[in-house]
Structure 1
Amino acid sequence: MKTNGAKSPLYERFLRAQRRTRIMIGLARFAILALFLLVWELAADWKWIDPMLTSKPSMLWTSFRDLAFHGDLFHHTRITGTETVVGIALSMALGTAVAVLFWWSTFASKALEPYIVVLNALPKVALGPIFYIWLGDRYSVYGMAIAISVIVTIMMVENGFKEIGRTKLKLMQSFGATKGQMLRMVMLPASVPHLVATLKVNVGLTLVGVIMGEFLSSKAGLGYLIIYGGQVFQMNLVMVSVAMLALLSVFLYGVVNLLARVASKKYHHEA
C-alpha cells in the first residue's frame, strides 16, 4: 500500500506492530528457556533433585566443553545428522514414488491399502532386531529411520494428490494429455505445499527412527552416547547428548523451513 511512492502511515504502523510482535515472541522464547535452566540449577543446588541423577546446567556446560574439545561429541553428532539427512531423503523419495503409484493405478492403491494401514499401526521398534540381522549394525539405523517415516510420507503425499482439483486434470485429459504429463505439469507442482509439510513432519520422525536404531545396534551417534552414558551412570554425558540432539533437530527444522520458503516463492511465482 503506497501513496506517491511512499508507504502509508497506516501500513507503517502495521509493519511496526509486526516487528514488535516478532521481538516479543523471541524474548518470550528466550525467557522460557532461561527460566527453565534457572529453576533446574536452583533445584539441584537446593537439593530438591539429585544432581547425580539429573545433572544441572552448570555441570552440563563443563561436560560439553570437555566432550567437545577433548572428546568426540561433534563426531557422534555428525554421524547422527548424516543418518537423519539420508533417512529423510530416502523416505521422501520412496514415499513420494509409492504415492505416485497409488495415484497412477487405482488397482494398486486398493490392493496395497490394507498393508499400508497395518504397517502404519505396527510398532516400528519391533522391526529393530529384524533390520539388525538383515542389514547389520550400520545400515539397520537407516532401516529404522525409513520404516518410521515412509508410511507417513505415503499417506500425506497421497492425501495431497487427492485434494488437487480434478477440473484441471479433466481439462488436460480432454486435450489428450497423458498421465505422465498430468503428473509432471499439474500434480507434482501443485503438491509442493503438501511435500513441504511432509518434509517438516519427517524431520522429527526420521530423527526418532535414527535414535531408535542407534539405541538398538549402533556403535556411534548421539543415541549410542545416550545408551552408553546410562550404562556407565554418567548422566552428564546423557544430558549433553540430549541437548545436542535438541540443537540438531532445531538446525534441521530451520534448514527445512528455509527450503520451504524458497519452494513456496518459486511455486507462487510459477502459479
Structure 2
Amino acid sequence: MLRFTANLSLLFTELPLPERFQVAKQHGFDALEIQFPYSLPAEQIADLLDQQDLQLVLFNVDAETLLQGGEGLAAAPEKRDQFKAAVEQTLSYAARLKPSVINVLPGCCLNSQRLSEYQATLLENLAYAAAAFAELGIKTVFEAVNSHDMPGFIVDNGDKMLNVLKQIDHPNLFMQYDIYHMSRMGEDCAGFLSQHLDKIGHIQFADCPGRCQPGSGVVDFASLFDIIASSNYQGWVGAEYRPTADTAASLDWLKTYAVKYRAV
C-alpha cells in the first residue's frame, strides 16, 4: 500500500494556508499534513477539509521555538508543564480533526552536560503523550531529525529511535521515519524500512541533499517506494519537501507514483 499526503506547511506555500486545501485536492491529494495547525481554529480546518473531501492525517504537538533554533518542549526538564499544556491543546484539535497520527518532536539539548536529563524527560513525555492520544484512538509517533540541519537534536538516527521505542515500550508509540533526515545522516533507508516497518506509524520524504522534491537529489525513491508498497505498512507517506520552484511544477513524482501504485 502506498498513499501520499501533501504537507501544507511546505507545499503550496505560494498561497495562504486556508487556500492550500483546495489546490492540494486539485493536484491529486486526498490527504494532508500540517506541521503546526494552531494558527487556524480547529473548526475552520474541519470546514476546509469537508469542503474538499480531504483527510488531515498528521500534525505535531507544539514545539515552541524549536524550528527557530530553540530546544523545543518534549525533552526540556524545566518545560514539563508546558509540554503537557501543548498535549492538551493538541487533544482539543485532534478530537475535532481526527488525525491518524500525532507527531512529537523530541527537540534539542543545547547543553551536552545535561543530555541524560533531557533524554529521561523525553521518555517521560513520550509515554505521557502516547497514553493521552490512545484515549482518542490516535497513534503517537516521534521522529529522528538530522543533526547537521539541527545541531543538538537528541534523536538523530534510526538506532536512537529504536532505543527510545524499546525503553518506553508503549503499544501506542511508533516511529515516524523521515527519508530526508535519515539520508542526510548517511543511513541505509532501504535496509531500515525493510526491517522495521512494523514499528513505523508514519513516513515522510524529501530528496537529499537540499530537501527538495524527488528527482532533485540522489535518493532512490523508486526502490524505497517499492519496499513500502510491497509491505504490510498501513500508514501514509507524506511529501514534506521544499519545492525548487512553485509547488505545481514539482509534482512530476506524484504523477508517476500515484499511477504506479494505484492498484497496489
Larger radius of gyration: 1
TM superposition score normalised by structure 1:
0.23
Q: Which has the higher strand share?
A: 2
The structure whose residues are more often helix, as a share, is 1
Of structures 1 and 2, the one scoring higher in RCO (CA 8 A, sep 6+) is 1
